[in-house]
Structure 1
Amino acid sequence: MADEKPNCKVVLANNIAKSLLEEVHAGLQKIDRKPLLVGFLASADPAAKVYADWTGKTCEENGFQFELRTLDREDLEDAILVANTDPSVDGIIVYYPIFSSRQDQYIQQLVSLQKDVEGLSHRYIFNMYQNIRFLDPEEKTKKSVLPCTPLAVIKILEYLRIYNTILPYGNRLYGRTVTVINRSEVVGRPLAALLANDGACVYSVDIGDVQQFHRGEGLRKRRHEVVEKPGWTLENCLPLSDVVISGVPGEKYKVPVELLREGAVCINFSSERNFDSGKVKEKASIYVPAIGKVTIVVLLRNLLVSHCAEQDG
């Protein structure tokens, strides 16, 4: 028995999504109509179409209305502005990439704050990085919407009880060390900031460098700060990390499992498998191979929050 290898628990996104859906369904019971999500598809990317179809299916299965509007990208700006002022539309999602340039960032800012269920508006991004959790910090009645994929990872960590609920809200990752492999503006960097704002020491690993996100010793700072780690690589980060989260968009990339700390929690948010599923089970205590289904449910949750805020307003 002494030579027997420890068991790695593989946790599927579908099981995590179910618990979140219960919360969403309870919220739906309290409102008088099905919230309407409008999706704009002006992208030629096949993955965008798959995501749009998946969004629609999940909406309809769970008591929401969904309307996909497929159009030429040159007509997208006007179409978003019309939807912004349509009282029947509760949320707007735009499927990227469209122009694959800074013009996509401009499109993100066109969606009204009240209907931005992806949390991509400048106000939401500002609040996220500044660790401001409400649109009305004094009254604390309107939550600031967080981007769906980073929030999905947070919800997974809560489900796995990586968050310590004995500690005060906002400090529940204190003492945890996390490595995030990916520093994209859409997922990797926001995720590192969110984790650090909750108290974790986060190593953000990109192609050329490593940055450390943290709130200072003893959580002295209200929001995270970023420190460059010259000369650091994954070899420095992985042996220190309780949790390793990877989202490298390439089928050839694999996290070097031999560097993982024994019993680490490993989460993959790339569409490709960043962990060798056989090897990672020999080292990790928990492995989450994909998060897509949780991301979709988080989108519905954001839609419900936006709808209720609009009704209250």
Structure 2
Amino acid sequence: MVMVFDGKKFVEDKEKFLQQEFKKLVKKGDVLKLVSILVGQNQNSRLYISLKEKIAIRLGIVFEKREFPEDVNVRELIDFIKSKNNDFGVKGIMVQLPLPAAFDNEIVTILREIDSQKDVDCLTPENLGLLMMGRPWVLPATVRGIWEILGKAGINRKTIIGKNVCILGRSDIVGKPLANLLINLGATVTVCHRQTGDLVKKTKAADILISATGQPDLIRGEMVKKEAVVIDVGSPRGDVNFRSVASKASFITPVPGGVGPVTVVSLLENFLDLALQRAMG
């Protein structure tokens, strides 16, 4: 019988632990501030920031939101990031992606300005490079969340070795870094995208199938290997036809209530890790 991952319960347990750890830091006199930067009026980004803000406040973190118009000058954005790099109380900085299309040629210029030791989303070239080399300080929040969810399916550093993994989607914040992580852990990874041919052959060969395309009902039961582990990262409706795939899988994440809430709490776990590293010097 398929195991359906309960993201709500998982996050509740994580929050209890994080609350205790943040209280310890505050008692030592640490200021814990997380800065969120939004450019433009993307409503999905606003919603995601709101979810992060609610949990951060519950955990005792000072959450600073800064919004810039779509036509903001890149220099103004960079100057703001640099000011937060130099603010000792700020332990984490995140630029909400995607940025407006006008910034496509400037995104690396902007993200590289974030202090890598405050980069809670693993967006800087330095931190992504360390991940690729197998020596990450921090993982992208969704990637960290997926790895922790896989643990609930019985996948760990030993059992991942030799597993066939199929990832659908090649974004810079999920598909590519997730593939790097799993390759470094010993999995055999296939990354599929819109130009991929014979998709069904690739998905049916996967012991672990992870879809992050945002295309509803892309994955159906006939595309899934029996007893596969299936992780649905699609937003907002999910990539996986839940009913047909659940009849084949051994483990599956629902949408909503699966990867989404875990991603938010994973970002705050990154924030804790970076705050502790900074406290230790």
- Length-normalised TM-score, structure 2: 0.89
SS of residue in 2 equivalent to 1:97? coil
Distance 1:176 1:18, change over 3 A: farther
Following TM superposition, by how much is the alpha carbon of 1:267 offset from its aligned partner in structure 2, in angstroms?
A: 0.8
Matches within 5 A, 1:5-24: 7-24=1-18
- Length-normalised TM-score, structure 1: 0.80
2:225 aligns with one of 258, 261, 286: 261
Matched residues, number = 268
Following TM superposition, by how much is the alpha carbon of 1:244 offset from its aligned partner in structure 2, in angstroms?
A: 0.6
Q: Deviations over 1:241-276 (max 9, x none)?
A: 11111011233x511320211111111111031111
Following TM superposition, by how much is the alpha carbon of 1:34 offset from its aligned partner in structure 2, in angstroms?
A: 5.1
Identity within the alignment, %? 27
- Corresponding position: 1:294 with 2:259: no
**Aligned counterpart, 1:201:** 188
**Aligned counterpart, 1:222:** none
Amino acid across the alignment from 1:160: A
Provide structure 2 residue ranges, at least 5 long, that are not aligned to the other structure: none
Matches within 5 A, 1:15-164: 15-31=9-25, 32=28, 33=30, 35-72=32-69, 73-74=72-73, 75-100=76-101, 101-133=104-136, 144-163=137-156
Distance 1:52 1:176, change over 3 A: same
RMSD: 1.8
SS of residue in 1 equivalent to 2:24? coil
Q: Deviations over 1:140-172 (max 9, x none)?
A: xxxx111111111111112222125xx3xxxx4
**Structure 2: distance between partners of 1:102 and 1:298:** 29
Following TM superposition, by how much is the alpha carbon of 1:26 offset from its aligned partner in structure 2, in angstroms?
A: 4.0
**Structure 2: distance between partners of 1:305 and 1:105:** 24
2:220/2:244 contact within 8 Å kept: no
**Aligned counterpart, 2:209:** 244
**Aligned counterpart, 2:177:** 190
**Structure 1: distance between partners of 2:172 and 2:68:** 26
**Structure 1: distance between partners of 2:115 and 2:265:** 21
Provide structure 1 residue ranges, at least 5 long, that are not aligned to the other structure: 1-6, 134-143, 210-231
- The structure that is helix-richer by fraction is 2
SS of residue in 1 equivalent to 2:37? strand
Deviating runs (4+, > 6 A) in structure 1? none
Following TM superposition, by how much is the alpha carbon of 1:234 offset from its aligned partner in structure 2, in angstroms?
A: 2.1
Matches within 5 A, 1:207-218: 207-209=194-196
**Structure 1: distance between partners of 2:117 and 2:18:** 19
**Structure 2: distance between partners of 1:233 and 1:193:** 23
Distance 1:299 1:102, change over 3 A: same
**Aligned counterpart, 1:283:** 248
Following TM superposition, by how much is the alpha carbon of 1:106 offset from its aligned partner in structure 2, in angstroms?
A: 1.9
SS of residue in 2 equivalent to 1:178? strand
Following TM superposition, by how much is the alpha carbon of 1:238 offset from its aligned partner in structure 2, in angstroms?
A: 2.1
SS of residue in 2 equivalent to 1:52? helix
Amino acid across the alignment from 1:274: D
**Structure 1: distance between partners of 2:41 and 2:129:** 30
2:122/2:128 contact within 8 Å kept: yes
2:166/2:208 contact within 8 Å kept: yes
1:36/1:90 contact within 8 Å kept: yes
**Bigger shift: residues 269-278 or 73-82:** 73-82
2:35/2:65 contact within 8 Å kept: yes
